[in-house]
Structure 1
Amino acid sequence: MMENWRRVELVLTLLVCVLGCVNGATDPNDASALRVMFSSMNSPGQLTQWSANGDDPCGQNWKGITCSGSRVTEIKLPGLALSGSLGYQLDSLTAVMNLDLSNNNLAGALPYQLPPNLQRLNLANNKLSGGIPYSISLMRSLTYLNLGHNQLQSQLGDMFGQLTSLSTLDVSFNLLTGDLPESFSSLSSMKSMYLQSNQFTGAIDVLANLPLENLNVANNRFTGWIPSQLNSVNLQKDGNNWNSGPAPPPPPGTPPAHKGPSQKSGGNDSSSGSGAGGGSKKSGIGAGGIAGIIISIFLVGGIVAFFLVKRRSRRSSDIEKLDNQPLAPLSSTNDVPEMKSMQTSSAVNTKIFDTSASINLRPPPIDRHKSFDEEEFSPKPVVVKKPVTTPINVTSYSVADLQMATGSFSVDHLLGEGLFGRVYRAEFDDGKVVAVKKLDSATLPSDMSDDFTEIVASISLLHHPNVTELVGYCSEHGQHLLVYEFHKNGSLHDFLHLSDEYSKPLIWNSRVKIALGTARALEYLHEVCSPSIVHKNIKSANILLDTELNPHLSDSGLASCLPHADQVLNQNAGSGYGAPEVAMSGHYTLKSDVYSFGAVMLELLTGRKPFDSSRPRSEQSLVRWATPQLHDIDALSKMVDPELKGLYPVKSLSRFADVIALCVQPEPEFRPPMSEVVQALVRLVQRANMSKRTIGNEQGETPRAVNPDTQDYMS
């Protein structure tokens, strides 16, 4: 009997265990989708507990995963430097309401398979490309959609008709084109819309009656008039081609503009045309509207009749002339090459042409069967092709040459990767070493070789001791490569932030020397070059150091020449180098370069990265954390890079901090020009009172007193 009870007890225990395990396990579909996602993101080690074979994300507390029961409800993994793609099985995550993968390095196209019941989707600040999938149109619960700062292309599909809960939409800083979709007018809950820094065209009338509070349409190609309904909205609109002057009156019979019931007419006339304001979808046309339409019909009819009579009188003489001439010249061989070149160039529809050149297409042969003489009213200008400037003083390399010198662009030769492409070390048979930047196709499409030659020609004109010299280029087989002089000591970023047991930290002398040399490079670009060149990408990774630790500013002139460079650069928002006004407008200026230079100076002073997510929240943004302390000598001494071990002149440090404070002011108009920054740093060097305690050399010899006027700061 006792033995039977033990058996029953054992069975009950096993049953409880089984039920407990089943209850604690994650839904198999959810687990499978997360495993695929993990593999697609290259199995990142920073996702603790995640596994390509794991079956219980909820029970095992996978990083960033929130569950309710056995279902995954949230995936929040922002700012973890995740790469790869999103996977192809996310649509099985039917309980997920919040997906946040912002501020990572995810690439590839947005998958069609997204969690269908999302309320919040944030994929901002990645490298996603392609178009916006139509599956988003089915997410009726979506309230927040942020796809800003990516590389999304093509037009927005007309797919917003069912997204009536969406209150925030951000697709800013992409490469989106075309007119705004009509279904935008259905976004009845829309409060904040950010469309800036794309290539949208047409009017924005479709946004007129939305309940908007914030709207940013800056830096597109919009035309037409800004609807009066948007006057009360926090609107940013600069950088478009708005029509000037008063907007034309609406066509006869058009219902009055409205934003809601508060603007409804107080009368009871059922044919007033304000049905939408009163809650009805019907709209009538009043007597005035009918009269207007009748008058319009008569006017149009009269105009058409006039031109038909004119056409008949001219048609007979035109036909006589054509009948007396052979038709062959209209399609002669002289026309074929030009028309063929226009057809085979895929850049015709996408390239932004220089307005200083007269650009047009050759008029087609006359069609004798046309019912109207369109040629009379649309004169066609003559085709003028802009001559391509040949680069001077630089070597033209073949792809084969550069492949040989870089080991077929192998990882072993990779020096680094930036927003515009990867950089490789190339060594030729004669021992010459150069750095080769291979531009991404997204940065410069393969069919824009003429533009690339123009870019090379422009950059080849830049010559300054502190600007990295362009020595060659390659434009073959759709590849675009720039060949620069090579600097053995790598970048300032590597010196400051990559630990190496064999390398010694930069002493104070060298830091001031690097700041002064970089300032001189910017002074050259801003104030010597004509027209001025905005660098747009000042950061420590773009300051290269030679064997004597002289700085050389790389990528100079590149961002100002590349099409869509601003959109590409704005994907790096949040790096800590960008000026506040750039984050708002996406526009780069000479003063935004000054701000970025100030951030680099702070980097030199503190040894910290301009943005470091590993630090406490209040210290992550270097400029925000350091600026209030720059004029407090005690706080300043605590901010100094510990690697300096206190070996710096206090007065020199204080003056260095004063220059930084000027450069990183929030208001661009208060930042100094680079010539003044150079003068301030020169005075700092001249006044420096070096002592045995503060001066050493790069070889680690015993510190010694040095005359500041003979220091190598000035080299």
Structure 2
Amino acid sequence: MFTSSSFPKKVLIPHLLLSKLRSSKMNKITIWMILISIFVILQTTSSVEDEVKTSLINFIAKLSNNNSQSGLFSGWNSSSDPCQGLWQGVICDTQYNSVRKLFLNSSNLNGELDVGLLCNVKPLADSLSALHLETNMITGGISTEIASCKQLTHLHMSKNQLSGSLPDSLAMLNNLKQLDISNNKFTGDLPADLSRISGLTVFLAQNNQLTGQIPKFDFSNFELFDVSYNKFSGPMPDVKGHIPERSFLGNPELCGDPLPKECPQSLQDKNNVKDENNDDKSKSSSNNQILMFVGYLVLGLVFLFLIMCWVYKRMKRNEKVDGVNKIASVDDTIDKQPEAASMEYKSGFSRSEISVASVDESNLVSTSLIVLPGPVVNELKFEDLLKAPAELLGRGKYGSLYRVIYENGMNLVVKRIKGWAISSDDFKVRMERLDQAKHPNVMQAVAFYCSKQEKLLVYEYQHNGSLLRLLHGTGDTGKAFEWTSRLGVAASISEALAHMHQELEHDGIAHGNLKSSNILLNNNIEPCISEYGLMVVDHNQESSLLGDLTGFSAFKEDVYGFGVILLELLTGKLVHQNGINLAEWVNSVVREEWTVEVFDRSLLSEYASEETMVSLLQVALKCVDRSPEARPSMNQVAVMINTLKEEEDGSTSSLEP
């Protein structure tokens, strides 16, 4: 029921009726009037609830060509409740009993999309935050009524038959974080104001027929961005190195960096004139804002001056000269405070970020890194890192990542760790133990540097990206990520992680942050675990995501992280931190005995072994068990996965002629 979000907070009763209630002479007619009024209010509330049910039923009926009652959505009926009745694909807010998310992906829907049936019903429009319709055969387009669903954060419509132009009202979804319209038949220009959605982190529009110029997004915000294989034209926006070239391929009329095609001079001049006009408007607006700010500042200074005069006279009258001297002293101190060092770098590292002087405190040589044995680097110096051009790849809660390019063409990655309360001696011992526990599928540091303030690690740069990008369509390996490859990746990672756990068990060094973005692909497109042992796990933080893990081994948390990677390999879905948790969603689907619905449709279409996929899914569910004690060890996991791989390889070879 939708009682909490639908009922008014207060039932207003006229003052006259209240006074009659308090009177001892209240007659029967008054009582009946009050009862009838309450009945009407309750009926109105019920009608709002019925309106939401009716809207959802009509929405799924139109999506399924009126065949919803014979399929997965037979439970969607007016005699049950969307939240209490566990309607297929409906996720509710348990506190307010309102519909929050609709997961209708991979549901064999072949009808027409009508978002107005959802967004024109106010209680539903005010609560709906996620709409997933990907991997169906839905036709139609996105109507302007989408703007009424202002709470939408996730809108996924990929792999359908949707067409038409995108409405300008799409840009009014200010809370939108992920928009996926890829692999459809959309035409026309992108809404010009789409770039104003400040929280947009995922935008996928590849494989459509979109035209016009690409809006000037803030590309530094994007985790995933892809507009390849459309009909975009004109000069490229300045992506500032945040988006790779492959995200714009397949648009023959696009030109400019980072694409190899240069723009004609006439097109550049036209674009420059347009930018100048926009700059003039921006400058005019900016000037007005500056004048307004200066006016407020002058008023503030006058007001402050008056206060200071009043304070001075009062203090002089009371002969508190010492107090005046203290104020002057404070002012002098403020004036002499140094400005904070900038943390943004266009080229090279800054001594304000990496302190050379701090090396002496750790008894290390100030001009050298500690270079570990290996063929990658030889006699690498600390000063070389400071002088070489450096590209900022990312900045997170626990540190920053830089790509360093040397004159001889060598590419390295430097990981700067911050906020880790570990002594230099302990850090050195830890790195030496990690170097001793080698495995071909675990990236080894080639050098490291530690002092009281700074801790740096140097790795060889991997050009083929991460498993995250390969899984979700942004990889550039030249190969389709088929079932055999996914099973091989799972086996390689499990063996490498089991080896590291066994070697480092007595040292208590687990990975601590295992996820698909930390699985990199080497030159042979083989998976390598990166950043092993570079994080001390915060149990209090993890408990909110993985259940109550306080007091349990970090190795079991690695098992959980590996289980989530298995679920990504099997489902092809992203792990949404702000949306529904992938492990929870898979568990809910399996409980409803719709196990086959969790698998990536591309795997089923290539006739992958459904029996092996189900077996691997069972392994994954054991790994993500909410109780750490119930999870298997990584050695047990590796044995189970290798057994499945051997059986799969055996059955494949027996089918070959």
Q: Do they fold alike, i.e. is TM over 0.5?
A: no
TM normalised by structure 1 equals 0.37
- Whose helix fraction is larger, Structure 1's or Structure 2's? 2
